[in-house]
Structure 1
């Protein structure tokens, strides 16, 4: 069902599409397949609802978000179970994501009451300047499948807190997660037209309407750099506000003074999180030659113990990839690396038959001897393959780490405080974990530089993305 103007309804064409379990291929349900007319109706509903929602007090908007936070936590297990079936991540990780999604709702429930203006002194005695912060208007959000609930709340919550209305197009792979998330907001008392959901199996006409409709004043997108560039270019035709969280190619640097065992355990934990299908996942693991042997031995041991399978089964730590195309990419990267001299230490193949039948499973993989001419060195993997590169000095590894068009997350392991600051300041990335594999929170800005995006989500900056500044110059 679509959710437009406060009502659940089929698409105007009555078309539907299937949602499937990537671990088995089983059909989970049928979802309304929106067309361009449905999206236009959703935008019109959001436009009509905007003036009244924008005029609500910050405390009123905050109260509704608080209620949504409470409901999301009450339904945590139900949401997590659905996420594991539809997206594939192990149930423990799905529960963590629902908690993370709720964190954004709580954070912006609080930040809704902190949209502050400003008074600026004038050079004239008879003049006063005041700055107001006002909602941009109707926002459109396009969300990904890899974090199918938290990426919704990270966009919906700040939009609502700022006083915007929103139309959301979720990933076609995870529409059921979006439906259940919208039920949380609807049951929390969000007024009709303020939030609208348009699921579709064909994103092109949906995106075209969102980008060409002049009522939409803000586009927020999480996904590939290629699609993000296209959306930003189209949005520029009407000077729509944009925020983009795009691809990553994170370096994970282990210096000679670091504990190689601790670093290897950290690398294994973050690399295979969500089957490696995370934009902040380490894609290039740089290890100093002097500790490489110990690091590789530990990493190999840890990865070999990872249990792959359906996320609802006991003890599973790595789930399926999202689709056949992802499997093809893993095979291509491994074959290319081996053909250029790399060694596969663990894994390196698709898992088939038995419990893996019908699913998109790839064995957790470690590759050593990776060099710059290999495809995996340049191309975002988005899967469970850990490529290890040996380096000899600090300047060399900084140069290699920055040798990418991406600039989202990066990681440093060192016990030298001076080096930690020096290298962090030299890396061209928006987020840096120093002896830390999770440099994220609803309270801190999330986003990258270069071709990894524009703007920030979360934190105070995440609210500012949905606000315009208006100057009042008053002559006395």
Structure 2
């Protein structure tokens, strides 16, 4: 069990083949709230990854041979372990990621819900019988596990985005090797402990902690790995696509976002402000579905901005383990520097900072004040690139057609938001906005039973919902003659 301390370095091994393995190399894990290393985690080489894939392939017949009910029972036991250790694991997430503790608690709860959803959904993998066109034949469609899965998870939601990949793959009958982000490996180690305590068969779930490029290369080139599921930047997704082309390896890619948030003059203004604050500043703005660009109809622009700025000013910023925090530190100095560079660029393109705009004084960690900036030109970086920071650029629009055009003027399409009570407009936006998820009066739309993923350069495939399970299944036609 992981024990987090502030005065002693914690050392953790890597979970391979059902055992905790100490290797020669290790990496430090840093607390973004103070920039100090507090844990050291063993890392693996390419030979370990090759061995993990071999182990997973050996256990594949056993795992897929279990009934979906049996696999689901094991996943529910993992969920039970997460629930039993929820307070401890939430603190782990906060210390390695920085987010406020209440948000980490929500992440653990959602991860538990994902496990329970797929534990049950695995029992509903239905095939079908197709009416024949020729006498003496019958046609069946059956669903079979795709095989060993390599899962690569990001640092911003280190537990729940790992579980989004692991839970459906395991439910479908696929062993999984999880590569967590090097900044946040302790959440994955806690998940591995829960797997072990739940009695997960040896080799069904393993960890690959180490150099991302090396691990991805082994996943790509080793035929034992039958699918890769990745969450991260569009640039890295493009590299995976190039690598997968050599062997036509299936990929599920959840990539970058650049979410617009449209505020129409018929909205409930108080709710619109509340949901916009959630969509923008949750997880310190370090979310692929964060509202990157806020467009407000001119007739309510001044009123909305006044209320939004007041709400942003009221957010409590500080170390995530301190009570009552709304916004924590950014993940690293590099991330903070990038955010400040975007702010300087926005000001050069006509932006005016209404609140925030600088590093939070009095802290040694990577804190940026929640920032609202208005009047930014459409050519500014923050209006064209993903902003992984608590920065909210706001501008105005006049008509629905203009709002949709500007919302769609991006190569990305992961998520979008709209604040409106016009039912006709809701349906029009549902059909015209180019995004995989559209939150209407809802700043936190993700849920276990609904599909999640992007269009355009925001990715391939879907996670969660029934689509999330289908991602790890092959569809097979069986034609039977002589009947």
- Alpha-carbon separation, structure 2, partners of 1:38 and 1:22: 30
The two structures, once aligned, show a CA RMSD in angstroms of 0.9
Partner of 2:32, secondary structure, is coil
Q: Is 1:435 matched up with 2:441? A: yes
Q: Which residue number in structure 2 is paired with residue 345 of structure 1?
A: 354
- Equivalence map 1:42-441=2 (5 Å): 42-200=52-210, 202-352=211-361, 354=362, 356-357=363-364, 359-441=365-447
> Which segment is superposed worse, 404-413 or 262-271?
262-271
Partner of 2:457, secondary structure, is helix
- Alpha-carbon separation, structure 2, partners of 1:183 and 1:451: 35
Contact 1:265 1:298 in 2 (8 A): no
- Alpha-carbon separation, structure 2, partners of 1:288 and 1:346: 21
How far apart are residue 328 of structure 1 and its match? 1.3
Contact 1:87 1:322 in 2 (8 A): yes
CA deviations 1:232-252 (Å, max 9, x no partner) are 221121121211111111010
Q: Is 1:4 matched up with 2:13? A: no
How far apart are residue 136 of structure 1 and its match? 0.5
Partner of 2:260, secondary structure, is strand
- Alpha-carbon separation, structure 2, partners of 1:431 and 1:30: 37
CA deviations 1:333-360 (Å, max 9, x no partner) are 11111112110000001124x3x11x11
CA deviations 1:278-304 (Å, max 9, x no partner) are 111000000001100000000110101
Q: Is 1:468 matched up with 2:474? A: yes
Structure 1 stretches lacking a partner, 5+ long: none
- Alpha-carbon separation, structure 1, partners of 2:37 and 2:334: 19
1:23 to 33, 36, 46: 33
CA deviations 1:304-330 (Å, max 9, x no partner) are 111111001122110000011111111
Hey, which bits of structure 1, 4+ residues long, moved more than 4 A? none
**Number of equivalenced pairs:** 470
- Alpha-carbon separation, structure 2, partners of 1:341 and 1:280: 26
Contact 1:130 1:472 in 2 (8 A): yes
- Alpha-carbon separation, structure 2, partners of 1:45 and 1:52: 12
Contact 1:219 1:235 in 2 (8 A): no
Q: Which residue number in structure 1 is paired with residue 10 of structure 2?
A: none
- Alpha-carbon separation, structure 1, partners of 2:294 and 2:228: 34
Contact 2:254 2:460 in 1 (8 A): yes
- Alpha-carbon separation, structure 2, partners of 1:155 and 1:405: 25
Contact 1:252 1:286 in 2 (8 A): yes
- Alpha-carbon separation, structure 1, partners of 2:446 and 2:212: 29
CA deviations 1:374-417 (Å, max 9, x no partner) are 11110100110000011011111110000000001111111111
- Alpha-carbon separation, structure 1, partners of 2:66 and 2:421: 51
Partner of 2:403, secondary structure, is helix
Structure 2 stretches lacking a partner, 5+ long: 1-12
Partner of 1:161, secondary structure, is helix
Partner of 1:361, secondary structure, is coil
- Alpha-carbon separation, structure 1, partners of 2:250 and 2:159: 23
TM-score w.r.t. the length of structure 2 is 0.96
How far apart are residue 259 of structure 1 and its match? 2.7
1:36 to 26, 32, 46: 46
